[in-house]
Structure 1
Amino acid sequence: MIRIDNFIQLQLAIGSECMVDSVNSLTVSFYKAAHNERSEPHITRTKIRLDSPMASRVFKEQPLFPGNELQRIDELLSQEGISRSSLLMGTGLPETCLSDINILLSWEQFDIIYRNVYRLSQHPHIGLLVGSSLDITRWGVLGMAMSSARDIDHALGVANYYRHIVRSPYDYIIARIRDGLRVKLARCADVHPAIDQVFLMEVFLMGTHAIIEDLLDSPFHFQEVGLAYPPPAYADLYQEFFRCPVHFNCQESYYIIGDAFLRMPLPKSNPINYRIAKNLCHEKQKQIDSYRTRDTVIQIQELLANQEGSISTLESVAESLGISARTVRRKLAEKNTNFRELYNEDRKRKALDYMHNSTLDTESIAALLGFSDTASFRKAFKRWTGQNPREYMENSPHPLHEPF
C-alpha cells in the first residue's frame, strides 16, 4: 500500500492537485486533454484509493530520458505566444526545468509535452518546425558518441543500437541497398496511441535530418522519404523541408540515405571521445534495462505488446517468463494489479493504434484483438473511451480512413 505521506510525490508525478480525504483515499484533480487533441484540456476530479492500481501506476514512471530538447521547443512556441505553463501542463514539471540542461523526464512526461505542442500550436505543420529546430545535443551522451564516430554510417549504427536510451518513438529496421541505406520505421509500442501519427513522424524525420546536418556541419538531404499516410493539406512544404522526393500512401514509412553522405567523415570524429561516450551510453542502457527487467508489470506489458494474440492467459505469461503462474499472480498483486487488467489495457492500446494508424475496419480489428465477435469489441471500446468506434473516429484529428 502507498503511504499517506507519499501523496505529495503522487501530486508531483502526475502534475495534479491532491487532497487527502481519509487514511485510504485522496481526491486528485487531473489535467486531462479532451479527445480532440487541439481542444482545451479540462480538469477532472476523482477520488482514488491509495492502494489502487491507478495510484501504483503513477509511481512506475521514471525520469530516465534527457530533456535537452525542451528549451528549443519552448523557444519555438514562445514565438506563437504560448506560455511555458501551457507547454508543461499536466507534466508536474516546474518552468525552471526548461533552462536545466541536466533535466531527465519520464516517457509519459514527454508524451504529454508533445501532445500539448500539437494541441496548442496554430501551425498545421508544427511537427516539421519542431523537428527542424532540434540538434544533436538533444540526445545527451548518445549525441556525444555519434559526434565522435568515424562517419554518418558509423554514427547511425550507434544511434540504432542505443536508441532506447533517448526514448526513440520508432524502432528501426535497417537494410543495405545498392546505393545507400534504407531505414524502415515501426512505431514503438511505448508511444501513446493518441499522439497524432503525422505530427510524430514529422518531428522524428525532420529531427533526424537536422541531427545529420549537425553532425556533418554542412547541408544534407535524404535520398528519398516514404510515408505510410496520405498527403496532408500542406504537403508541398515537405519538399521545402526535406529537399528530396517524398512519397505518400506507402505501405510503410522509411527514409534512404545515399552512400555519398554515409561515407562522409565527421569533423568532430575522435576515437578516444567515442569510447568514453559509448561507455556512458552502455551504462545508461544497463540502467534502463535493469529498471525494465525488475518490474514484472513492464515485462508482461512488453510480452503482450510484442506477441500478437499468442499471450492471452496468465499461464502463457508464466511460461514465457519461466516462472510459475502463482508467482506471476503474487508479483502482480504486489503492484496492485492483475493479468486481466494488463491484458485489457494492451487490447485498448492496440485498438487505438489500429484506428489511428491503419485502414483496418472494425471486424478486422476485433479479430486481431481476439474478440469473439464485433459486438463484443464495440462494447469493450465504448467502455474504454466512452464512445463507439464510429464516434471515436469522427472526432479524431487526421483520420487515416473513413469512420467505422
Structure 2
Amino acid sequence: MDISNSMALQVPLISARYARRFMEFMERRGVKRAVLLSDTSITDSMLNDPDASISMQQITSALQKADWLMNDERAAFQFGQQLDLPSHGLLGFAVLGQDNPRQLISMIVQYLRVGLPLMDMELHSTGSTFHIRLLDTWGLGELAPCVTKMYMGSIHRVSAEVCDHFNFQFAFSSNRDTSSWQSLAPDCEFHFDAPYNQISMALKGQPTQKDTVSLRFLLARSRNAKKEKAGLADETLMQVRDMVMSQPGRSCTTANIARRLDISTRTLRQHLASAGTSFREVRNEIRENFATLYLNDTNVPLESIAEKLGFSDQASFTKAYRAWTGKTPGDVRKQSRKTT
C-alpha cells in the first residue's frame, strides 16, 4: 500500500465486528482463520470483543491474504451483500425519525464514511437517481478492487428496499462474464474498465405509506421478504434489535426482552450467540448510536440522555461512552457545536 502517513495506519478505526464477520465468511469457504490472522496482530479475543477496534494496517493485512486465497473474484461482492443494515449498526439512525427514502440513502453514505472508513464516498443525485462514487483515499493499490466490491455489495444490500435499476461501474477488469455477475444481483448492470468506481440506483415508486415510511418499516419489510430465509437465530437477533431500539432504557434487560419474545433468558442468549453476538453487544451498539445522535443533533442535557439510555446517573453514562468511543459526551457535544 502506498500510504505516507504510517502512524495513521496504526490507529484503531474499524469495529472488530466487521473483521469477525469476514473471518466467518472465509471459514465457510474453507479458509482457516489462523491463516488470515497470522502476522496481523489481530487476536480471537479482539474479534470477540464488542467494543474492540482494529487498525487499517491490521485489516488490510488480513484482506491481502484473503484476496489471493479467494477462488472466485466475486467473493468480495458476495461478502458485502451479507452486510445488511444491522451489520453496520444503522438502527441507531432511527432515532432521527427520518421517514424519507432519500434521507435513508444519505444516512447510509454518512455512516459508512465514518463507521467503515476503508474508502471515502461522494453522493450526488440526478432527479430520482442516486450516484455513489467510491474514492480510494488510503492508496489501497492492488487491494482496491477487493475493497470496492465489498462496498458495492453492501450498498446494494442496504439500498435495495428503496432503490432499483442498479448500475455498477468498476475501474478494473474482470475475468467473469456479465451473466456471472448478474447472478449475484439480478436485473442489475455490471460494467468493468470504467473510468471510476460508482454505483447508480433509482428510487422505487413511492409505497402507499408515503408519509410514514421509516427505517423500522423498511427493516420489517426486509425481514419478511420472500427471498429472505434467515434462520431462527438471525430472526431473534432482528427482533431483539427492534425491541432495544424502541426501548433502550432501564427496562431493556435480558429478562424483559426474553419475556416479550416468550422464550427463556437462556434460550435468548443461545440464539444471540449463534448469531455471533450477545445482548450486551446489541444493546451497547444501539445505545452508542443513540447517544452520538443526541449529542450531535440535539440540545438534550447529558443527564437526560443518560436516563433515556438506562444509566443510573450521568457519571455512569460518561464512563460507558468513553469506553465505546474513547471520547467523553461533553467533548463530542463541544466539537459538534464548533462545526455547526
TM-score calculated relative to the size of structure 2? 0.55
Counterpart code for 1:167: L
SS of 2:62's equivalent? helix
Equivalences, count: 228
Higher relative contact order (CA 8 A, sep 6+): 2
1:240 maps to amino acid: S
Q: Which residue of 167, 173, 182 maps to 2:116? A: 167
Deviation at 1:150, TM superposition (A): 2.3
Point out the more displaced range, 252-261 or 83-92: 252-261
User: Contact 1:221–1:242 at 8 Å: present in 2 too?
Assistant: no
Deviations 1:185-239 (A, max 9, x none): 222x2243231x33222111001112335xx4x9x64432222223433543221
Q: 1:12-36 deviations in whole A, cap 9, x for unaligned? A: xxxxxxxxxxxxxxxxxxxxx9xxx
Pairwise CA distance, 1:118: 0.8
State the structure with more CA Rg.
1
Deviations 1:50-95 (A, max 9, x none): xxxx9x9569712232122223222221123322211212221212
| Aligned match of 1:179 | 128
1:232 counterpart letter in structure 2 = N
1:258 partnered with 2:225: no
Structure 2: runs of 5+ lacking an equivalent: 218-244, 248-285, 298-320, 332-340
CA distance in 1, matches of 2:31, 2:153: 22
How big is each residue's C-alpha offset from its partner over 1:130-172, in whole Å with a ceiling of 9 and x where there is no partner? Answer: 21222223433x5522696424321222233344422333332
Q: What letter is aligned with 1:119?
A: W
1:40-79 counterparts in 2 under 5 A? 57=6, 61-79=10-28
Q: Is the Cα–Cα contact under 8 Å of residues 183 and 256 in structure 1 kept in the other structure? A: yes
Partner residue, 1:278: 293
Residues 89-100 of structure 1 aligned to structure 2 (within 5 Å): 89-100=38-49
Moved more, 148-157 or 250-259: 148-157
TM-score w.r.t. length of structure 1: 0.48
- 1:237 pairs with 2:180: yes
For 1:370, the equivalent position in structure 2 comes to none
Residues 35-55 of structure 1: CA deviation (Å, up to 9, x unaligned): xxxxxxxxxxxxxxxxxxx9x
Inter-partner Cα distance in structure 2 for 1:89 and 1:280? 39
Shift of 1:105: 1.0
How many angstroms apart in 2 are the aligned matches of 1:235 and 1:128? 14
AA in 2 matched with 1:201: T
Equivalent in the alignment of 1:124: 73
What is the SS of the residue equivalent to 2:107?
Answer: helix
CA-based RMSD: 3.8
1:87 aligns with 2:31: no
In structure 2, the CA distance between the partners of 1:136 and 1:170, relative to structure 1 (3 Å rule), is same
Report what 1:144 is aligned to: 92
Alignment equivalent of 2:155, drawn from 185, 194, 208: 208
Q: Is the 8 A contact 1:73 1:130 kept in 2?
A: yes
- Partner amino acid for 1:93? I
Instruction: Report sequence identity in percent.
Output: 13
Out of 246, 253, 260, the position equivalent to 2:190 is: 246
